[in-house]
Every structure is written in C-alpha cells, then in structure tokens.
Amino acid sequence: MKKWLLLFVLVALPITSQAQKIGQEKPNPPPVQLKKVAVLPMAFREGDKEATNGEAIGAYKSALIGTFEKLGMEVVDQSRVNATWRELNGSLFETAKFELPKPEMLVSLGRKLGADYVVVTRCLWRVRSVWVGVGPKTKANATIDLWIVDIAKSEYSLKADSIKSDSTEKEPGWKTAVTVLVLPVSFVSGGPKTPHLKRSGVLSLMKALEPWIEKQAPDKIKINSGKL
C-alpha cells in the first residue's frame, strides 16, 4: 500500500525540469543593469575669465563623457541632472563661480537621481605666447580638478585635484585602452591657441582618470604597449 501511495505522489507532482525542447528558442537573459553616472555642468576658465573656446571645451566634455560610455555606463540626461540639482538647492549649478560643491550635496544629488556615481570637474587654462624667430610660439597649461563620488558608499571613488599638463609635453605611457581610444590629442607646436587648449585640457583629464579607469575593468582594458 505504501508503494502505491508513493507512486501516486510522484505522478501527481508537477514537472519542474528546465530541459529545452528541440527547436525551441532559449529564453532571453535578464537585461544588464548599467551603472548610471550623473555629470554636473563642467566649469572652464581661461586666465581670470570664463573660457569661451568651444572646440577646447567640446574636446574636454567629449573625452569625459566618452570614457563613461566606453566603460559601458549610462550617462544621465543633462537636463534631468540640472532639474534635480535645482530642486535640491533652489537654483541651477553655477559654473561661472568656478567652485566645487560640497561632497554631501553630490551624494544627495546621486541618491535623488538613482545614480551610481556623481561627477564634477573644472578646468583652468593659462596661455602664453612668445616670439620665436619669425613668429609666435604658443603654449597652454591646463589645471583640472575631477571628483567622482560613489553614491552607495558615500565616498570618493576618485578625488583628483590640481592635475596639470601643458600642450607641448609628451603623452604618458598609458596603461588602458579606453584612455587611448578617447584621447584626441595629437602633438601640436606653435600656431593658434585652440589646439593647445584642447591638448592640454584632455591630457590633464586623462591623467586624472586613468587610475580610476583601470580600477573599473582591469581585465578588459589593459594594453601591452606603453606608448601610442
């Protein structure tokens, strides 16, 4: 009697096997959860005035945003970042002041946006031209600050202050492929200041970012050569 009862129970149990039938498509894997990065409006100065060189500013912004995108991160829409900052602080983030906000404010912003990281940066250029031979020789220096705050941990993931480069220096021996891919900094000498501003700004940015980039995905973005 016990044997028949056991057989009845086994037959009545629902079949839970996950075996796939021939010709049946595999179920779609769960969507990958991308890390979200919120970037506050970036601040730029040339000397004592707000910078207006669109090409240099654009190169810096593209290099920073491009880094996050190449690391497979989602950059939060700028209008949403701006609106949330205003909601929390009563006014828009003022880049003209050229000031870095309190880190506690960045944590609050990240939590409100549901972001993994909040980023704030500023870049100060100084340009010098000297007459050499038959024409002027230009050189630009860029000093940048770059903070990346880890919202879940309420701590700095990167705190790079006063990172400097000049437009005539050689590129460092980059360790990561991402750095190489987002680096539009071909060597320049003499001539108008725009290429010098672009090169010095992006060089400083990549110097600041590279240790953080390496920490994000060291198994995927290492390169063998130390030179481009």
Cα separation of 197 and 42, whole Å? 16
Q: How far apart are CA 12 and CA 4, in angstroms?
A: 12
* Tokens describing residue 138: 């230009």
DSSP state, residue 96: G
What is the rounded average pLDDT of the residues 4-33? 52
pLDDT digits (tens, 9 = 90+) for 26-46: 666 555 678 999 999 999 999
The pLDDT tens digits for 178-210 are 887 776 566 666 668 999 999 999 999 999 999
DSSP 33-84: -PPEEEEPPPEEEETTEE---HHHHHHHHHHHHHHHHHTT-EEPPHHHHHHH
Residue 4: per-residue pLDDT: 47
Residues of the chain above pLDDT 70, percent: 76
Strand segments (E) across the chain? 36-39, 43-46, 49-50, 74-75, 117-132, 135-150, 155-166
Total Cβ atoms within 10 A of residue 35 = 13
Domains and CATH numbers, the chain: 34-216 (3.40.50.10610)
Q: Supply the pLDDT for residue 99.
A: 97
What confidence score (pLDDT) does residue 78 get? 98
CA angle 71, 75, 80 (to 5 degrees): 170
pLDDT tens, position by position, 81-115: 999 999 999 999 999 999 999 999 999 999 999 99
Backbone angles phi, psi at 30, to 5 degrees: -60, 145
pLDDT at 12 over 80: no
pLDDT of residue 172: 86
pLDDT at 20: 52
CA–CA distance, 107 with 92 (Å, rounded to integer): 17
Q: What are phi and psi of 174, to 5 degrees?
A: -65, 145
